């Protein structure tokens, strides 16, 4: 207390114009800098000792995307791997894997390279509950669902998106996500104010197709591997920062997710369709939950979250629910700008 002063209450605003606000920011920046330096010292020593080219990280600290970027670019390893659940849940899985291989002597087996190991969403529950509440609900074909969701996103609507099995780990990676257009700061502010109920300074993450990632984000060699599970923070290319304002942090970076179609086909199709409409196959992707609550798993949990916040649309599988008859607004100025820049 004598060194750092009293702790900040979690939901108090940080005003850098005040002494306390500046102190909070300075403490956070200093802790981050010391953490990065210590991790780099450990990783460099490990690389010198082993001569290995790959570094695998575990523990909650492996969720620090800024530090992970520095480990990839400065520690001497060619590749850095972070699993989607590197904290306590991942440690439990690692212990089981160690016992299977070392104690019981079982051979390695191929494991799918995705995080979707949780319960599958039951979209029939969403249809039933929505109809009980007399909300507009419809079951669509996949092409119609993609097209309608693009319409929603281009109209500025915020979409709760549930698809298939739930992600393992703390990051929403396309199966339990809240999706929005990434262009306007107003979208970011609305998400913080009306849905996530969290501090204004906390950034939102973008998801981009693997085919287009390098155009918008400055990824180092093998950076796409860290970005697969949203485990690295990388610069947004300066030419796109204004047009990706809702997902660009104040320092010009973003905790980007680079999505291959094989990992999450439906979201990849949505990104491509959104890209064809706007010229930018990027969306804002944040976890489907409210502040202080876990990420939703079942459709009924998603529906409860949907009803308790400012979300406009909810999708579970191919079932779409709205709170009211949404009118798709006139094409926004950012959308026209995107389309024009895509043709020049």
120 touches 165 (CB < 8 A): yes
CA distance 327 to 114: 36
> Where are the chain's structural domains?
1-111, 116-342
Locate 254 and state its tokens. Answer: 């973003």
Q: Considering only the top CATH level, what class is 116-342?
A: alpha beta
Residue 71, token pair as written in the block: 């480990």
Residues 6 or more apart from 325 whose CB is under 8 A from it? Answer: 136
Q: Distances from the Cα of 177 to the Cαs of 100, 132, 164, 259, 295, in angstroms?
A: 33, 24, 12, 14, 9
pLDDT bucket at 314, cuts 50 / 70 / 90: very high
Distance CA 284, CA 204 (A): 7
The pLDDT score that the predictor gives to residue 9 is: 83
Nearest-angstrom CA–CA distance, 310 and 291: 13
Give the pLDDT confidence score for residue 342 in this predicted structure: 47
333 pLDDT more than 80:
no
Mean pLDDT for the chain?
91
Percent of residues, the chain, with pLDDT higher than 70:
93
User: In terms of DSSP H, where are the helices of 162-291?
Assistant: 185-190, 213-216, 223-228, 265-278
* pTM exceeds 0.95: no
Nearest Cα to Cα of residue 230 among 217, 239, 243: 217
Q: Angle 62-292-247 (CA atoms, 0-180°, nearest 5)?
A: 60
Hunting for tokens 């942090």 — which residue is that? 249
Beta bridge partners of 180: 284
116 or 343, higher pLDDT? 116
């Amino acid at each position: 207390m004598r060194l750092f002063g009293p702790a900040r209450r979690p939901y108090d605003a940080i005003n850098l114009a005040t002494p306390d606000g500046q102190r909070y920011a300075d403490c956070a920046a200093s802790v981050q800098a010391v953490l990065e330096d210590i991790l780099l010292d450990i990783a460099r020593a490990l690389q010198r000792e082993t001569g290995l080219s790959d570094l695998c990280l575990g523990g909650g600290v492996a969720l620090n995307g800024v530090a992970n970027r520095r480990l990839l670019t400065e520690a001497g390893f060619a590749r850095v791997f972070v699993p989607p659940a590197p904290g306590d849940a991942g440690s439990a899985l690692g212990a089981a894997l160690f016992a299977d291989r070392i104690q019981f002597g079982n051979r390695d087996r191929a494991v799918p390279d995705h995080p979707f190991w949780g319960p599958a969403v039951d979209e029939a529950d969403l249809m039933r509950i929505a109809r009980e509440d007399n909300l507009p609900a419809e079951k669509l074909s996949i092409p119609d669902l993609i097209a309608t969701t693009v319409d929603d996103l281009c109209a500025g609507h915020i979409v709760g998106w549930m698809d298939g099995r739930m992600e393992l780990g703390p990051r929403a990676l396309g199966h339990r996500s809240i999706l929005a257009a990434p262009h306007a700061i107003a979208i970011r502010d609305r998400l913080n104010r009306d849905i996530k109920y969290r501090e204004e300074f906390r950034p939102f993450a973008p998801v981009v197709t693997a085919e287009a990632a390098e155009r918008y984000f400055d990824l180092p060699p093998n950076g796409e591997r860290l970005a697969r599970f949203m485990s690295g923070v990388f610069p947004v290319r300066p030419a796109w920062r204004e047009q990706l304002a809702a997902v660009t942090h104040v320092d010009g970076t973003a905790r980007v997710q680079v999505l291959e179609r094989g990992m999450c086909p439906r979201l990849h199709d949505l990104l491509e369709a959104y890209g064809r409409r706007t010229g930018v196959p990027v969306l804002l992707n944040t976890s489907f939950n409210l502040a202080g609550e876990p990420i939703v798993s079942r459709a009924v949990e998603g529906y409860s979250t949907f009803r308790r916040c400012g979300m406009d649309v909810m999708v579970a599988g191919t079932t779409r629910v709205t709170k009211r008859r949404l009118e798709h607004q006139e094409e926004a100025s950012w959308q026209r700008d995107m389309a024009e820049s895509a043709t020049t």
